[in-house]
Structure 1
Amino acid sequence: MENIESIEKRLWEAADDLRANSKLTSTEYYMPVLGLIFLRHAFNRYLKVEAEIKKSLPSRGGVTRQITREDFLSKNALFLQENARFDYLINLPEDRDRGQAIIEAMDAIEEDYDDLKGVLPKDYHIFENDLLTRLLKVFNDEALNEVNGDVFGRIYEYFIMKFALQGAQDNGEFFTPVSLVQMIVNTIEPDHGIVLDPACGSGGMFVQTSHFLDEHGQNANSAVTFYGQEKTSTTIRLAKMNLAVHGLEGKIAEANTFYEDQHELLGKCNFVMANPPFNVDKVDAEKVKTDPRLPFGLPGVSKSNEVNNGNYLWMSYFYSYLNDKGRSGFVMSSQASSSGGGDRDVRRKIIETGHVDIMISIRGNFFYTRTVPCELWFYDKGKPKHMKNKVLMIDAKNIYRKVTRKVFDFSPEQLKNLTAITWLYRGQEERYLNLIKDYFNKVIFSIKALPSVLNEFEISYSPLISRLSTFSSLVYDSKEVDDSNKIAFTNKIEEINIATKAFKETYAKLMQELVKWEEKLGELGSDTNSSQLKLSKIMEPISVDIKKLSKQVDDNYKILMRTFEFVEKEIKAKLVDADWKSRAINKQLKELNSRKSNSTEELKQVNYFLRQINWLQSKFPNAKYQDIEGLVKLVDQLEMEKQDWSLNPGRYVGVAPEQVDDEFDFDEVMNDIHLELKGLNDEAEELAKIIQLNFKELGL
């Protein structure tokens, strides 16, 4: 099956192109589109489960019992009446009102499932029939025929993210960036009991919790119970559909958490996660002043008896919902960690409980609709006694990856490496060593793939070299080629010969080194810190040769390309050699380019995972937690008191010493430049459309 990223991208571009050519805004468009993804997923799941049920249906007297709704319930799938199935909608006659048909499909599902009543979108009459027909075809993509719920869940999340980027509803605040949610989940590890998100948005915290549990061999619906609150009914619908797409169950109530506790979970939650709206003002102090969820009292109150800033109301609520062993992780404005006045008094009281566990600073541009930096806060009421007056401060502002010109996130490995710091802080050295072992396994996997991809490169490379060799004898005897071009051609052939020889020598040497390294790996193993350090040391010169070989592969391809271009344009190859076939040669060069990309990518993969190992080992060489200047520091309450009870990691960790960047990645820099250029081009194109529209409206 095609790579999931390409499926997501293709579906989004097709759907968004249809929107762009309609009169609909993204705000009008996003919920119906998500509804179609929901229907497509429900149908895939229906077909799969139906086949499983049929195999086990009892029969009597040669007659097999009919399938029922209850059969599907037992397998966490939706039973679909015929008119709610995606193939029914696809095969409707051309003159049929598709908007009405989709509404009837949604009604049929809600008729069978009380939890979904009033949730599914039904505003399909805003679409022209032709547009709906094309949209249905977009989501009838052949690549989706065999995919599972996880893939549909990812597609649903991807579309939510893209709509958030467009500010489709409430300025996109219904969506918390996946990187931040994953960091929260990785840190608090919600693996049992009650999980609450009192500002649940589109349900991303629940979805990422389910992914975390899947990775640890647990079923989310069995291990945890999800509870959520959200004040916007439209966003609740997003969340309930999101849960359904992922096969998850949850109890989500419509409520304003500042004033309401619909689930009555005070002191009962094992885990609390949230990305609440930051810096909300005008909360009625009179309504909340006796709320049992505010054990630390109110923060600053204005003369009009309103709470100046709701941040510390949220922080008190999150704390109060936890049971006596509970953990909480949430996103908060970076201003909140050092704010003064009533905020500082509440913060001091929270710190003095000893339950503030970890603080992580995140740079700006992680949110799709806001550029502000933020911080992740973590409470742990079950902290060991000797750690109660300490807080782990992590400044992760220099750790990020560019997704677009304006949006950053964490790579999967950056997330793992940050999580590894929390493991060491908690004394879980074995998990840290297992992560490095996993990186070594990925190094080995890429090393084993090298001979195949490099041999394929050579197989594509050699015939082209042979073709030039045959051609060269004709060039030197040809009266059609002047002496200056003959000399230039000779120089290019010499350049190719030198580059080819260098490539073969480096390749042979690297393969020998890798064989020796694998023998050493077999001898030492990769389970202990000492063996891991030795393996890394042995790998240092090999890493240099990997970089060298990657560059040589790329250079050999470019030299060959330039030579063939010279032969075509300057020497006029067809005049020299009647058998010269430009189209066939271009096809061979295209294939060589593909194999060159495969080779350099695999070589880079080896060094990429070696860099992850080096990042961790250079900071924690003893596989034990230690403070790292500019990154992490374990701070006690006395130090926090001296800093006016600030919880801003930047105040404590200091600035990392300046280092020479031996790992400068030219490709990564070029990628960032391309992202910047693409972003500017996209903005220019969007502005041009707006200007054109304005001219039309003015009648110009």
Structure 2
Amino acid sequence: MESNIEALEKRLWTAADQLRANSDFASNEYFLPVMGLIFLRHAYSRYLAVKPEIEAGLPSRGGVTRPLTKEDFTSRGAIFLQPEAQFDHLASLPDGADRAKAIIAAMEAVEGDYAALAGVLPKNEYQQLENDVLGDVLRIFNDPALQNAKGDVFGRIYEYFLTQFADQSAHDGGEFFTPPSIVQMIVNAIEPDHGSVLDPACGSGGMFVQSAHFIEKMQQDPTKVATFYGQEKNATTIRLAKMNLAVHGLEGQIEPGLTYYTDAHELVGKADFVMANPPFNVDEVDAEKIRKDPRLPFGLPSVNKSKKVSNGNYLWISYFYSYLSDTGRAGFVMSSQASSAGGEEAKIRQKLIETGHVDAMIAIRGNFFYTRTVPCELWMFDKAKAAEHVDKVLMLDARQVFRKVTRKVFDFSPEQSQNLTAIFWLYRGQEERFRELVAAYLDRAMTEALASDTAMEPFLDALDGLIETLDEGAPDELTDARAVFQADWDAYLAATKSLGDEWVDGTVAIAELHEGHGDVEPLAEASRDLVKQVDQLFKLAERAYRDAGGKRGKTSPVKALEETRADAVDQLKLVRYFHRQAQWLLSRFPDARLVAVPGLVKLVDRAELAANDWSLTPGRYVGVAPEEEDEDFDFEGVMRDIHIELAALNEEAAALAAQIQGNFAGLGL
């Protein structure tokens, strides 16, 4: 299902890119009409999803059922759509129809029903697009897969498009978008589950959306338990944010304004949660305009001779702190320079630490953002810290925790994000949540092991089928490898079934978790070895088929073998993957208690902070992790693969040399 959604996202992106390729729009012009169409399509999807339920509950008098109203849909997190605003109407317009005019009418109908969206949705931009191009994009956005989409698929698609446009720097230099894994880390750390949630540099509203997802996981309705307040300087970005909220069934009070000089919501001392990714290292902020600002409880940072604040980082830090209520929490992204800055900034940092409200610092490596490659840090404030932590700060160095999305962009995998969050659970004495996560990993590893047989069967059938097609019989190397694999595979299945019969899901006692980890470990290691054997079998079979004169094509047995191999290998890898997630946690926190882990985490007291110039740079305290051996590097396997490939290349070279010699002979040379 996940791969299907990803493929759909990419297909829609390719289709949307037609708007740019077939118009005079630059990349910073066509993103808004694209996001508008996604908004309409998602609104229609939500409309169709809740409509039957609404209609079933409508009262009737004298056999006449009252018409649908906006209120019916709002109560279910959906948007009421007039007939002209429904996406199937737009997608089915005949070629002679004016599609731009119809889309504009649809947008106006939505804005007419929802005052919060008035003037937000794109309209006139569609008049600059060719009618047939609009028709193609409308039809593609009405893909049958989208018509049957469940859950928050469109929310994901909206976020995917925001990501792509940020990667292009198609709007506001890409600063309007904070990568989801960074936002999720902040959300997981401060847990914004109620009350007022403020983002004074809200961009496209990602902090609000992820907060809402968190609340939904707590089995609550975000529209009933939280209120979202945003401030943003760019008018176009405000439109994106309001559309983003609406696409997720949310509303927020998002106001224009430059936060350095304006406080649109007047929430000083009132916000339950503050979240933000402000612009880094902004200079030339007018110090005279903000000198008496109540949001600067620790005073102004360094001011230059021109009476300008030379770096705005500590303005933001002070603002975020000032907004918090007596029990509020804050989480925000900040330049890594800020945590050890000198001058007036160091004095402000000391005062902040002395309040006892600096809760945690997380160091993030570079390349997590689409528009900047420098590393950053996540700051956490908590005005309701546990008494035993008032004079301490949790230092978490996550620079070695990442996965590569592309050559130039990194993020946290869902499991990496969970593992880092589990450290916060231990810090807050929530050991049971930590143990439940470890248990979930072990249960998942066991589930994937039990599912391996179903994934392997098509591969073995395809392999045996290919072997049967070989006219002169399969080479001994292939048949021997097939026999060895069968024996190993039978042993793996027997061990899996034996352990599965005894497995008890959800065990959370720490001693039993260690025992379960040890029980699953042989399966995890065996799955790694089986993956190597499957890959070797495929290479041997492919070579044997080629040597027998077989041709590769869509219907060839090699193609079928390759496809089933991928499924089998992916399934086997999951066993070890989830076992290793449990191992990552248990090896670092064996007693389900927070301890200092070199290179990763340390709880630092105020005396140590003072001795280090009040620095809040995690790497300064956690030390260096011992170098770990790469357990996945298999020298013998690599050499075996090289041998197979080298033998094939030698055979091809010999055949080519013979052919060349024959050609020369034919020419009489």
Tell me if both proteins adopt one fold, taking TM over 0.5 as the criterion. yes
SS of the residue 1:472 aligns to: coil
- C-alpha separation in 2, matches of 1:67 and 1:378: 46
SS of the residue 1:330 aligns to: strand
Cα offsets for 1:625-657 (capped at 9, x unmatched): 110111111111111111111100111111111
SS of the residue 1:419 aligns to: helix
1:590 offset after TM fit, Å?
2.1
Structure 2: runs of 5 or more not aligned: 639-669
SS of the residue 2:78 aligns to: coil
Give the aligned partner of residue 97 of structure 1.
Answer: 98
Residue 70, structure 1, aligned to residue 71, structure 2: yes
User: Which aligned pairs between 1:196-207 and structure 2 lie closer than 5 A?
Assistant: 196-207=198-209
- C-alpha separation in 2, matches of 1:278 and 1:416: 27
Give the aligned partner of residue 561 of structure 2.
Answer: 592
Give the partner amino acid of 2:33.
P
Residue 529, structure 1, aligned to residue 510, structure 2: yes
Give the partner amino acid of 1:658.
E
Give the aligned partner of residue 626 of structure 1.
Answer: 595
Cα offsets for 1:51-73 (capped at 9, x unmatched): 22222222222222222233223
Give the aligned partner of residue 645 of structure 2.
Answer: none
Cα offsets for 1:605-644 (capped at 9, x unmatched): 0000111111111111111111011111111111111111
Distance 1:525 1:249, change over 3 A: closer
1:149 offset after TM fit, Å?
5.6
Give the partner amino acid of 2:472.
S
Cα offsets for 1:125-149 (capped at 9, x unmatched): 2212222222212211111102246
Q: Say if 1:366 and 1:408, in contact at 8 Å, map to a contact too.
A: yes
Match of 1:647 among 616, 619, 635: 616
Q: Say if 2:553 and 2:559, in contact at 8 Å, map to a contact too.
A: no
1:583 offset after TM fit, Å?
8.4
User: Which aligned pairs between 1:555-574 and structure 2 lie closer than 5 A?
Assistant: 555-568=536-549
SS of the residue 2:395 aligns to: strand
Aligned length: 634
1:520 offset after TM fit, Å?
4.8
1:216 offset after TM fit, Å?
1.9
Match of 2:407 among 399, 405, 408: 405
Give the aligned partner of residue 41 of structure 2.
Answer: 40
Give the aligned partner of residue 342 of structure 1.
Answer: 344
Give the aligned partner of residue 8 of structure 2.
Answer: 7
- C-alpha separation in 2, matches of 1:502 and 1:606: 21
Give the aligned partner of residue 482 of structure 2.
Answer: 500
Q: Say if 1:149 and 1:247, in contact at 8 Å, map to a contact too.
A: no
Give the aligned partner of residue 571 of structure 2.
Answer: 602
- C-alpha separation in 1, matches of 2:612 and 2:634: 38
- C-alpha separation in 2, matches of 1:373 and 1:356: 20
Q: Say if 2:189 and 2:421, in contact at 8 Å, map to a contact too.
A: yes
SS of the residue 1:599 aligns to: helix
What value does the CA root-mean-square deviation take over the aligned residues? Answer: 1.9
Distance 1:100 1:617, change over 3 A: same
Distance 1:547 1:253, change over 3 A: same
SS of the residue 1:324 aligns to: strand
Residue 228, structure 1, aligned to residue 197, structure 2: no
- C-alpha separation in 2, matches of 1:411 and 1:465: 39
Deviates more, 1:81-90 or 1:222-231: 81-90
Cα offsets for 1:98-153 (capped at 9, x unmatched): 22221121111111111111111112122122222222122111111022461111
User: Which aligned pairs between 1:320-339 and structure 2 lie closer than 5 A?
Assistant: 320-339=322-341
1:585 offset after TM fit, Å?
10
Residue 550, structure 1, aligned to residue 528, structure 2: no
Give the aligned partner of residue 683 of structure 1.
Answer: none
SS of the residue 2:14 aligns to: helix
User: Normalized against structure 1, the TM-score is what?
Assistant: 0.88
Q: Say if 2:436 and 2:506, in contact at 8 Å, map to a contact too.
A: no
Q: Say if 2:442 and 2:516, in contact at 8 Å, map to a contact too.
A: no
User: Which aligned pairs between 1:277-676 and structure 2 lie closer than 5 A?
Assistant: 277-468=279-470, 471-472=471-472, 493-522=475-504, 526-568=507-549, 586-664=555-633
Q: Say if 2:442 and 2:517, in contact at 8 Å, map to a contact too.
A: no
Cα offsets for 1:462-509 (capped at 9, x unmatched): 2322333xx227xxxxxxxxxxxxxxxxxx611012101110111111
Give the partner amino acid of 1:537.
G
- C-alpha separation in 2, matches of 1:53 and 1:661: 57
Q: Say if 2:199 and 2:231, in contact at 8 Å, map to a contact too.
A: yes
Q: Say if 1:83 and 1:104, in contact at 8 Å, map to a contact too.
A: yes
User: Which aligned pairs between 1:190-201 and structure 2 lie closer than 5 A?
Assistant: 190-201=192-203
Give the partner amino acid of 1:59.
S
Give the partner amino acid of 1:544.
E
Q: Say if 2:523 and 2:575, in contact at 8 Å, map to a contact too.
A: no
SS of the residue 1:657 aligns to: coil
Q: Say if 1:45 and 1:149, in contact at 8 Å, map to a contact too.
A: no
Give the partner amino acid of 1:616.
L
1:174 offset after TM fit, Å?
0.2
1:22 offset after TM fit, Å?
3.1
Distance 1:631 1:455, change over 3 A: same
Q: Say if 2:301 and 2:348, in contact at 8 Å, map to a contact too.
A: yes
- C-alpha separation in 1, matches of 2:342 and 2:552: 72
Give the aligned partner of residue 255 of structure 1.
Answer: 257
Q: Say if 1:41 and 1:149, in contact at 8 Å, map to a contact too.
A: no
Q: Say if 1:271 and 1:326, in contact at 8 Å, map to a contact too.
A: yes
Quick one: percent identity of the two aligned structures?
56
Q: Say if 1:195 and 1:269, in contact at 8 Å, map to a contact too.
A: yes
Give the aligned partner of residue 678 of structure 1.
Answer: none
Q: Say if 1:149 and 1:245, in contact at 8 Å, map to a contact too.
A: no
1:21 offset after TM fit, Å?
4.0
SS of the residue 1:615 aligns to: helix
SS of the residue 1:243 aligns to: helix
- C-alpha separation in 2, matches of 1:176 and 1:586: 44
Structure 1: runs of 5 or more not aligned: 474-491, 570-581, 670-700
- C-alpha separation in 2, matches of 1:427 and 1:624: 8
1:310 offset after TM fit, Å?
0.9
